[in-house]
Amino acid sequence: MAESTADGHATEGSGEVETELSRDMSLFDITFIGVGAMIGAGVFALTGFAAGLAGPALTLAFLLNGFVALFTAVSYAELGAAFPEAGGGYLWVKEALVDPNGFYAGWMSWFAHAVACSLYAVTFGVFLTEFLVFGGVLAPEFELLGFIGRGLLDKILAVLMVSLFAYINYRGAEETGKAGVVVTAIKVIILAVFVAFGILATVNTPDWPQKFLDNPSFAPNGIVGIIGAMGFTYIAFEGYEIIVQSGEEVVNPGKNIPKAVFYSLLIVVPIYILVAFAAIGGIEVTAELIAQPGGIPNSADPSLPTWNALGDLGELGIIEAAGQFVPYGVPLLLIAGLTATMSALNATVYSSSRVSFAMGRDRALPGFFSKVHSEKRTPHWAIFLSAILIALMAVLLPIEAVAASADIMFILLFVQVNWTVIKMRKTHPDLPRTFEVPYMPWPPLIGIVLQFLLTPFLLSALGLQIGFGPDSHGFIALVTTAIWMGFGILIYYGYSEPKEEEKLEEETPTVATEEAPAPERAKREQRILVPIANPESVEQLMRTALDLAEDRNADIEVMSVVSVPPQTPLSEGRKFVQEERAVIDRAIEFAEEEHPAVPVSGKIRIGHDVAKAILNTIEQDDADLVLMGWRGRGRRTDYVLGSNVDQVVTQARCDVLIERMGPAGNVDSILVPTAGGPHAEFAAEIAHAIARPNDARVEVISVITPSAEERDTAQSIIDSAAASLEGVETTTELVEGDDIASAIVERSGEHDITIIGASREGLLQQLVFGAIPEEVGRRAKNTVIMAKRDLGITSRVTRWLRNQRS
């Protein structure tokens, strides 16, 4: 077996095994993650409350929030590009500032994400209850089992949803990149509809400017109300924290992370401003609105300012506004809100468990936080304990206090990050910074001052309605924050600090050992990539690869993918590398025994998506051909050959061979069905490469119908294919048959291998290789190799999208 070196490589003879993390997320992917996080439940749940604080000046509050967020965003852009690792602000603060700052960064980040998740859970409960009432399932003033009313049902539904998404994260299920884009697109489209109808309703209202200027004023609660609303909704602008949490998975992070941070803010801030304008301007205070159960008090004056009405409606503010001026507005906005809260719930259960997992790994929290389930490969304890914290906050705190507590924690975390970027300019002067904050240290210092201003105004604004007393949401939020911070002190000095000292004593410097240089080999013209997952297919795939390598003067790279769920940081996948090493080592050993002159190396990639890991390897290692095995009919009907094979075949920027394994044995005869075209020519080239070292004979056939008039054309095609098989015993035949695939399958039984090129069918028919090659691959008893040449035509769009990653 090979011995591992300190840099993650392993060597043995001429073979080398390398372990890499697979970066799969493009600029588009990571930007949509940020946008999706910012246009989450916050815009649906908090707009009404914030309108009650700032009045019509809510539009200004959102604009200023974007301005304040920008001063922290530049810090996240610089550090996220320089440290593209899972962990985000916690890891940066721990690296740069003295303890207990690092501990508190993680402690606050965990709580902030958990409490934000509680906000989404409670909002989900409120929206689902309202949806059931709107649909007539529940009466407006219902009481279930004699004691479950609206408030209690909201909390029960919140806990159930937290439990569901905790289980989903434990199972390792994910919201795929495509699903995330679809969910975000749905939210943006519905909000765009809301804004369009809201502006239309506004301008069609006589004297509509009075709603903003004279009702009673643009900022009825003054500067306290504006900045209080900013602090209350600041949680909605923390999407860049989610962006950098995924830094180790981003392609070209030094370039793409800063872009994603700024692009996401540029998209989101105008949306929030327009939503606030449409809600305040479009809604009318009517008797029907006053009578809403749980909404505006029945004693309210019908001349109540619209911003005040939105504040009284709270989390249902823009829902009720949409009911007035958007066709089917209530169900439409409720569906959007439910979609947004479920998406946000999944994301924040995931992010909060990641932070607590990272703290457990660093011994800042007990070690069981860092445990990874041996079967699911997810941090199950971190997920379970985060879910408990989320559920407790959802049950114990009012929704306004939940939001305020999360805001305070994020503000304190962002203050630490801003100070960290200043500190690291001195402590890490040689850090590779692909993006640098301009005019240092002023932007982060301004960010610190502005965020410190938000907290007292937030607490004061939340006390405007009922006074700053024990029943005030601001007071509850402050007490909750103080209790959590005090509990953190006990954890740090009672557990974390002694454990960190033990860790320092245990750690010893690791010295890299120098390996003797491998003997110089002549540079090969091409590279063949062979992904292997099934140990039983090693020898057969390697025989094919070695034959091709000899013919093409190519080297071989054998790869395997360690797949971990998105809930688990990629770096933790190294724990499972040994399970794949046996396959790689076996392939290299086989190659050294059979063809020692062919250079063979190995690579183990750690990724969340097997197909993307293979495609990244093809591109980054400049592979000319990829050879994959196929087990036969897949288990899912939505894929032709299987999810991974389908993606690689359709997106790879190189020639592709898929080998369906048949009985093992010598290769004495090869069948090449052909109907002409570049893929068929490629199949003949592969047949020549395999036949020559095995001294095998090749039969070239073309299937025509009995009444076909193209006999001469078909004969010309097979004669051309036979001519390319120079030096190999070759026979040709025109085979008559009404069913082409059946005729090929029948003839394949007389040969050891059938090699067939992709068919030239229409785009809608040709999902992967085409109907005929795929049917032959499924039905033939012996080995089938399906061949597809990279023509650089059908993949133009794919290439363009992939080029955006760089």
**Cα separations (Å) of 633 from 514, 548, 771, 779, 788?**
47, 26, 14, 10, 19
Percent of the chain at pLDDT above 90? 27
290 and 302 Cβ atoms separated by less than 8 Å: yes
Contact predicate 359/153, CB 8 Å: no
Q: In whole angstroms, what separates CA 660 from the centre of its chain? A: 32
Alpha carbons 487 and 493: distance in angstroms, whole number: 10
pLDDT in tens, 129-153: 989 988 888 888 777 766 677 888 9
| CA angle at 729 for the pair 728 and 732, rounded to the nearest 5° | 115
Question: According to the model, what pLDDT value does residue 65 have?
Answer: 92
Name the H helices within 634-675: 643-651
Q: Is the pLDDT of residue 249 over 50?
A: yes
Confidence of residue 590 (pLDDT cuts 50, 70, 90): very high
Give the residue, 590 or 535, on which the prediction is more confident. 590
Q: How many CB atoms lie within 10 A of CB 472?
A: 21
Cβ neighbours of 20 (radius 10 Å): 17
Q: Report the distance separating Cα 531 and Cα 775, nearest Å.
A: 23
Among 83, 89, 119, which Cα is nearest to 104's? Answer: 89
> Is residue 71 predicted with pLDDT exceeding 80?
yes
What pLDDT, on the 0 to 100 scale, is given for residue 763? 41
Indicate the length of the chain as a whole number.
806
Answer whether residue 299 shows pLDDT above 60.
Answer: no
For residue 757, the cross-strand partners are: 787
> Strand locations in 169-245, DSSP E?
none
pLDDT at 638 over 50: no
Q: What per-residue confidence (pLDDT) applies to 472? A: 63
Amino acid occupying residue 87: G
- How high does pLDDT run on average in the chain? 81
Residue 326 pLDDT greater than 80, yes or no? yes
Containing H/E element for 754? strand 753-757
Q: What is the 3-class SS of 518-563, one letter each residue?
A: CCCCCCCCEEEEEECCCHHHHHHHHHHHHHHHHHHCEEEEEEEEEE
**pLDDT grade, residue 91 (50/70/90)?**
confident
The first and second tokens of residue 61, run together, are: 């509050």
Give the model's confidence band at 219: pLDDT under 50 very low, under 70 low, under 90 confident, else very high.
Answer: confident
User: Rounded CA gap, 255 and 527, in Å?
Assistant: 29
In angstroms, the CA 479 to CA 470 distance is: 9
The whole-number pLDDT of residue 704 equals 87
755 within 8 A of 736, measured Cβ to Cβ? no
- At residue 711 the predicted structure's pLDDT band, cuts being 50, 70 and 90, is confident
CA dist., res. 13 & res. 11, Å (int): 7
3 state DSSP class of 642: coil
Hey, what amino acid is at 740? I
If you ran DSSP here, which 8-state letter would residue 25 be given? B
Which tokens sit at 401? 């206090």
**pLDDT score of 207:** 80
pLDDT at res. 473: 66
CA distances to 632, 635, 686, 732, 749 from 670, rounded to whole Å, are 20, 29, 10, 12, 11
31: amino acid identity, one letter: T
> Strands (DSSP E) along 582-729, which ranges?
600-607, 625-630, 655-660, 669-673, 697-704
Look at residue 512 in the predicted model and tell me its pLDDT: 33
pLDDT of residue 462: 62
Cis status, amide bond into 773, omega within 30 of 0? no
| pLDDT at residue 425 is higher than 60 | yes
Q: Are the C-beta atoms of residues 425 and 433 closer than 8 Å to each other?
A: no
pLDDT digits 0-9 by tens, 431-480: 888 999 999 999 999 999 998 888 787 777 665 444 444 556 667 878 88
* Band of pLDDT at residue 2, cut at 50, 70 and 90: very low
Q: How sure is the predictor about 41, in pLDDT bands with cuts at 50, 70 and 90?
A: low
**Number of Cα atoms under 13 Å in the Cβ half of residue 178:** 1
Rounded-to-integer distance, Cα 108 and Cα 73, Å? 18
Angstrom distance (rounded) from CA 600 to CA 365? 44
DSSP state letter for 767: S
Tens digits of residue pLDDT in 742-770: 999 999 999 999 999 988 654 434 457 77
Q: Residue 12: pLDDT above 60?
A: no
Helix axis angle for 380-396 and 101-134, nearest 10°, is: 60
DSSP H helical ranges for 672-750: 678-694, 711-723, 740-748
Q: Report how far residue 66's alpha carbon sits from residue 292's, in angstroms, rounded to the nearest whole number.
A: 33
Reported confidence tier of residue 671, pLDDT bands at 50, 70, 90: very high
573's tokens:
């996948």
Per-residue confidence (pLDDT) for residue 766, from 0 to 100: 43
Residue 635 has pLDDT above 50, yes or no: no
CB 769 within 8 A of CB 658: yes
Cα torsion through 33, 38, 44, 46, rounded to 10? 150
DSSP tag of 512: P
Backbone angles phi, psi at 526, to 5 degrees: -135, 170
**78: enclosing H helix or E strand:** helix 58-82
Query: Which residues touch 699 (CB under 8 Å, ≥6 apart)?
Result: 669, 670, 671, 672, 730, 731, 732, 733, 747, 751
Instruction: Name which of 92-106, 360-374, 504-518, 564-578 the model is least confident about.
Output: 504-518
Q: What pLDDT, on the 0 to 100 scale, is given for residue 18?
A: 74
Tell me the per-residue pLDDT of 604-622, one tens digit each, with 9 for 90 and over: 888 888 888 898 889 888 8
Q: How confident is the model at residue 66 (pLDDT cuts 50, 70, 90)?
A: very high
- Examine the pLDDT at 508 and tell me if it is beyond 60: no
Which H helix or E strand runs over 4?
Answer: strand 3-4
In whole angstroms, give the CA distance from residue 49 to residue 279.
Answer: 12
Residues of the chain with pLDDT > 70, as a percent, come to: 84
What is the per-residue pLDDT for 264?
92
Q: What is the pLDDT of residue 240?
A: 81
Tell the residue number behind the tokens 């059946």, with chain if given. 742
Of 313, 316, 352, 351, the closest CA to residue 337 belongs to 316
- Mean pLDDT, rounded, for 720-727: 89
pLDDT, tens digit (0-9, with 9 covering 90-100), for 224-244: 889 888 888 888 887 788 788
Answer whether residue 175 shows pLDDT above 80. no
The least confident of 81-90, 175-184, 672-681, 697-706 is 175-184
Q: How far apart (Å, rounded) are the C-alpha atoms in residues 333 and 339?
A: 10
**pLDDT band, very low/low/confident/very high, at 8 (cuts 50, 70, 90):** very low
288-291: long-range contacts (C-beta < 8 A, 24 or more apart)? 289/320, 289/324
Quick check: 648 pLDDT over 50?
Answer: yes
Distance between CA atoms of residues 55 and 47, nearest Å = 11
**Partners of 659 in beta bridges:** 629, 785
User: What number is the average pLDDT over the span 581-603?
Assistant: 89
What is the pLDDT, as a whole number, of residue 745? Answer: 93
Cis ω for the linkage preceding 441 (within 30 of 0): yes
Distances (CA, A) of 280 to 130, 202, 301, 316: 21, 9, 17, 14
Average pLDDT over residues 376-380: 84
Cα separation, 330 vs 316, whole angstroms:
10
| d(C-alpha 623, C-alpha 604), whole Å | 16
CA distances from 236 to 231, 240, 340 (A): 10, 10, 12
Q: What is the pLDDT of residue 307?
A: 85
Number of DSSP helices (H) and strands (E) in the chain, helices first:
30, 13
More confident residue, 254 or 22: 254
* Statement: the pTM of the whole predicted model exceeds 0.85: no
What does the block give as tokens for 233?
């909704």
Q: What is the pLDDT of residue 200?
A: 93
What kind and span of H or E run contains 93? helix 89-96
Q: Which among 154, 152, 151, 147 is positioned nearest to 127, based on CA atoms?
A: 154
In the predicted model, is pLDDT for residue 494 greater than 70? yes
